[in-house]
């Protein structure tokens, strides 16, 4: 049965999306530069203290180069994408590579951060948990370095997985990603009062299972914090007071001398000195060095913790860096990206430099449409929608024509998905179409048809 609403073709809404504006340096008529591809360049070097310094207003050096680039569009045909993925990657003279797993609770912002690092939105993002259902790779190629980003479903427990009716793969994927990672980013949503003070047991389990993989703590959504000083407390809790083998000391200058406004109100010091020849520290700590009291302490090696140890742990004392950012707005994302590029080790590229993601064009499209359905409909609807692509072809002017059927089990679901006067479905078409244009950098005509599955 197909939907009917006044003035429109039965059950069908053609969202004809015309592009405006042209992207510089990008081929294709009417292509748009995605908003997310112009992150604000802020502070280097990439020490955790510099990220914190920028939030607290401590001056830092300007970056010597920007990461401004035009990430490649995704190929619009599966054949072309397959050819790029299967073919031998191009290689610079001295290729470097870093595989990065991003783990954290559902909704921490893993996909948002991945998209920002990539400079183009290829992973679905939503306020609803479990938007990312399978692992996919994103590829950043910058000069001779390739970053391979493994966006994972949120780490969750078997109990919660059962409650959300999640597939088995959602429990095993993050673990799988860790096996292939050279570095792990642990993302924490600092705006979530319930979860921000400790790492989840799943995250701690994951970290202790792979103690040899360097880990970095990323505090996300700092834009939502009114009181940024809470970050200092969180850093101490989430690291058990130790970063890179050195003890942290956090104190507020307000306590000592509340009338001093010239002085930085906060001191964070590491009681043991950085390794010799660690230039990034030398460069970044000018503003703080005079205030730091440096002593010495033995650096501990990560060990394998048993379930009983983990039970009593709130944080992880083996992070090698801390970053604080707002992935949604691209704030401090370049600082992190620069740091990641520096961590890459000599090794062959795994992907051709024209590849942005390992997903097929159809997968990206399905995920983006699903993201919108998740965003605008109550939870019981999105999980029951079956997407069937009926058309995927190039139109006469080089535009991409996509028609998809959305099959739902109940008429009530169809009514909700279409919305009053087609309002909901047309919004989904508009927003998904816009996102798809930014992914493929060409005009996209998207048609969605809602039907009750017979
Ligand atoms: N305010 C704010 N929201 C964010 C930020 N990063 C992500 N979000 C939002 O958090 C929600 C979950 O993001 P998503 O990337 O899907 O999380 P994931 O489940 O960890 O992949 C989305 O609504 C994002 O827009 C941020 O830095 N600031
Ligand atoms: Mg996600």
Q: Do 25 and 49 lie in a common domain?
A: no
- Residue appearing with tokens 């306590």: 255
Q: What percent of the chain has pLDDT over 70?
A: 66
Is 351 part of a structural domain of the chain? Answer: no
Q: Residue 389: helix, strand or coil by DSSP? A: strand
The answer to which of 41-55, 104-118, 192-206, 297-311 has the lowest mean pLDDT is 41-55
Find the ligand nearest to 136 CA: 2
The pLDDT value given to residue 275: 42
Domains: count for the chain: 2
Sign of CA dihedral 287, 290, 292, 298: positive
For residues 367 and 339, membership in a common domain is answered with no
CA of 128 to the centre of ligand 1 (A): 10
Q: Inter-axis angle of helices 333-343 and 110-118, to 10 degrees?
A: 70
- Based on the fold, state whether residues 163 and 253 are members of the same structural domain: yes
Is residue 352 a part of any domain in this protein?
Answer: no
Lowest mean pLDDT among 236-250, 293-307, 359-373, 382-396: 293-307
Average pLDDT over residues 282-291: 32
Whether residue 418 sits in one domain with residue 274? no
Which among 261, 208, 258, 253 has a CA at the least distance from the CA of 232? 253
CA of 130 to the centre of ligand 2 (A): 7
CA 269 to ligand 2 centroid distance, Å: 34
Burial class (CB in 10 A: 0-12, 13-18, 19+), 62: exposed
- pLDDT 10s digits, 351-393: 999 999 999 999 999 999 999 998 888 877 777 899 999 999 9
Q: What is the pLDDT of residues 10-27, one digit of tens each?
A: 233 343 333 222 222 222
Residue range 323-333: mean pLDDT, rounded: 95
pLDDT for 184 beyond 90:
yes
The DSSP string of 309-377 is HHHT-SS-TTEEEEEE-BGGGTBTHHHHHHHHHHH-EE---SS-TT--BSS-HHHHHHHHHHHHHHHHS
Q: Is the pLDDT of residue 43 over 80?
A: no
What's the pLDDT band for 274 if we cut at 50, 70, 90?
very low
Task: Please indicate, yes or no, whether residues 29 and 49 belong to a single structural domain of this protein.
Answer: no
329 and 261 co-located in one domain = yes
- Whether residue 2 lies inside any domain: the answer is no
**Average pLDDT of 422-426?**
93
Question: Quick check: 263 pLDDT over 50?
Answer: no
Q: Which of 97-106, 172-181, 300-309, 341-350 has the highest mean pLDDT?
A: 341-350
* CA 125 to centroid of ligand 2, rounded, Å: 6
- Last residue within a domain, chosen from 306, 324, 346: 346
Extract the runs of DSSP E, i.e. beta strands, from 238-314.
242-243, 246-252, 266-270
The answer to whether 153 touches 106, Cβ cutoff 8 Å, is yes
Last residue of a domain, one of 293, 317, 346: 346
Place 433 in a pLDDT band, splitting at 50, 70 and 90.
Answer: very high
User: Which stretch of 48-52, 107-111, 212-216, 427-431 has the lowest confidence by average pLDDT?
Assistant: 48-52
Q: Give me 442's structure tokens.
A: 């060409």
The pLDDT, as a whole number, for residue 63 is 52
Phi, psi values for residue 161, rounded to 5°:
-60, -40
State the ligand closest to the CA atom of 107: 1
Q: Minimum-distance ligand to the CA of 327?
A: 1
Whether residue 152 is contained in a domain is answered as yes
Query: Which is the closest atom of ligand 1 to the Cα of 124?
Result: 16
Across the range 162-191, mean pLDDT stands at 73
Residue 188: CATH number of its domain: 3.40.50.300
Residue 297 has pLDDT above 50, yes or no: no
* Domain contains 235: yes
In this structure, the answer to whether residues 29 and 41 fall within a common structural domain is no
Q: pLDDT value at position 378?
A: 82
pLDDT of 162:
55
| Residues 383 and 264 occupy one common structural domain | no
302 and 257 housed in the same domain:
yes
Lining residues, ligand 1, CB within 6 Å: 104, 106-112, 125-127, 131-132, 154, 220-221, 223-224, 326-328
Q: What domain range is 338 assigned to?
A: 36-346
Site to substitute for ligand 1 among 106, 328, 332, 376, most atoms within 8 A of C-beta: 328
Q: How confident is the model at residue 173 (pLDDT cuts 50, 70, 90)?
A: low
Q: Which residues pair with 452 in a beta bridge?
A: 408
From the CA of 114, give the closest atom in ligand 1. 15
Percent of the residues in the chain that have a pLDDT greater than 90, as a whole number? 51
Q: Are 221 and 328 in contact (CB under 8 A)?
A: yes
> What is the tens place of the pLDDT at every residue in 123-149?
988 877 555 555 679 999 999 999 999
Instruction: Return d(Cα 280, Cα 201) in angstroms, integer.
Output: 32
Show Cβ contacts of residue 146 under 8 Å, excluding neighbours closer than 6 positions: 95, 96, 97, 98, 139, 140, 344, 349, 350, 351, 353
- According to the model, what pLDDT value does residue 150 have? 87
- Looking at the fold, whether 237 and 263 belong to one and the same domain comes out as yes
Tell which wins on pLDDT, 354 or 47: 354
Q: Which atom of ligand 1 lies nearest, measured to the CA of 326?
A: 27
Which two structure tokens, joined as six digits, stand for 305?
Answer: 């913790």
The enclosing H or E element of 429 equals helix 423-440
**Based on the domain organization, do 91 and 181 belong to the same domain?**
yes
In a domain, 3, yes or no: no
Cα dihedral 56, 100, 131, 70 sign? positive
pLDDT digit string (tens) for 395-416? 999 899 999 999 999 999 999 9
Query: What pLDDT score does 277 carry?
Result: 37
Residues 280 and 139 reside in one and the same domain: yes
CATH number at residue 376: 3.30.300.20
Q: Among the three residues 305, 324, 346, which one is the final residue of a domain in this structure?
A: 346
User: Ligand 1 mean position to 337 CA, how many Å?
Assistant: 18
What is the structure's pLDDT at 448? Answer: 95
Q: How far is the CA of 124 from the centre of ligand 2 (A)?
A: 6
CA distance linking residue 355 with residue 117, whole number of Å: 14
């Amino acid at each position: 049965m197909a939907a009917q609403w006044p003035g429109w073709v039965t059950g069908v809404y053609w969202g004809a999306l015309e592009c405006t504006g042209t992207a510089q340096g990008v081929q294709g008529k009417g292509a748009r530069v995605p908003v997310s591809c112009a992150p604000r360049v802020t502070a280097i070097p990439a020490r955790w203290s510099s990220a914190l310094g920028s939030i607290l207003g401590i001056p830092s050096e300007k970056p010597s180069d920007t990461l401004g680039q035009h990430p490649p569009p995704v190929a619009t045909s599966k054949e072309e994408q397959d050819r790029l993925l299967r073919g031998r990657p191009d290689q610079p003279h001295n290729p470097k590579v870093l595989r990065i797993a991003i783990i954290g609770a559902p909704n921490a912002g893993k996909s948002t951060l991945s998209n920002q690092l990539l400079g183009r939105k290829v992973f679905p993002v939503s306020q609803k948990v479990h938007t990312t259902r399978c692992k996919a790779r994103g590829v950043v190629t910058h000069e001779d370095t390739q970053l391979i980003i493994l966006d994972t479903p949120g780490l969750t427990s078997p109990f919660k997985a059962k409650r959300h009716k999640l597939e088995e793969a959602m429990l095993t994927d993050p673990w799988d990603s860790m096996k292939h990672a050279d570095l792990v980013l642990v993302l924490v949503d600092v705006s979530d009062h319930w979860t921000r003070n400790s790492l989840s047991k799943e995250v701690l389990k994951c970290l202790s299972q792979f103690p040899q993989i360097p880990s970095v703590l990323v505090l996300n959504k700092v834009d939502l914090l009114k009181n940024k000083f809470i970050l200092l407390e969180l850093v101490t809790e989430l690291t058990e007071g130790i970063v890179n083998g050195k003890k942290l000391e956090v104190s507020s200058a307000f306590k000592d001398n509340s009338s001093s406004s010239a002085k930085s109100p906060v001191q964070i010091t590491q009681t043991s000195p950085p390794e010799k020849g660690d230039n990034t520290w030398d460069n970044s700590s000018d503003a703080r060095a005079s205030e730091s009291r440096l002593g010495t302490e033995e650096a501990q090696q990560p060990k394998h913790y048993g379930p009983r140890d983990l039970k009593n742990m709130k944080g992880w004392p083996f992070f090698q860096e801390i970053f604080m950012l707002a992935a949604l707005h691209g704030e401090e994302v370049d600082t992190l990206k620069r740091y990641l590029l520096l961590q890459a080790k000599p090794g062959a590229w795994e992907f051709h430099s024209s590849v942005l993601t390992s997903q097929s064009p159809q997968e990206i499209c399905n995920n983006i449409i699903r993201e919108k359905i998740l965003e605008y409909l109550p939870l019981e609807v999105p999980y029951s929608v079956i997407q069937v692509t009926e058309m995927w072809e190039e139109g006469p002017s080089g535009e991409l024509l996509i028609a998809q059927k959305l099959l739902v089990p109940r008429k009530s679901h169809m009514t909700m998905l279409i919305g009053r006067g087609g309002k909901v479905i047309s919004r989904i078409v508009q927003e998904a179409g816009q996102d798809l244009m930014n992914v493929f950098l060409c005009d996209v005509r998207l048609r969605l048809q809602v039907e009750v599955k017979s």
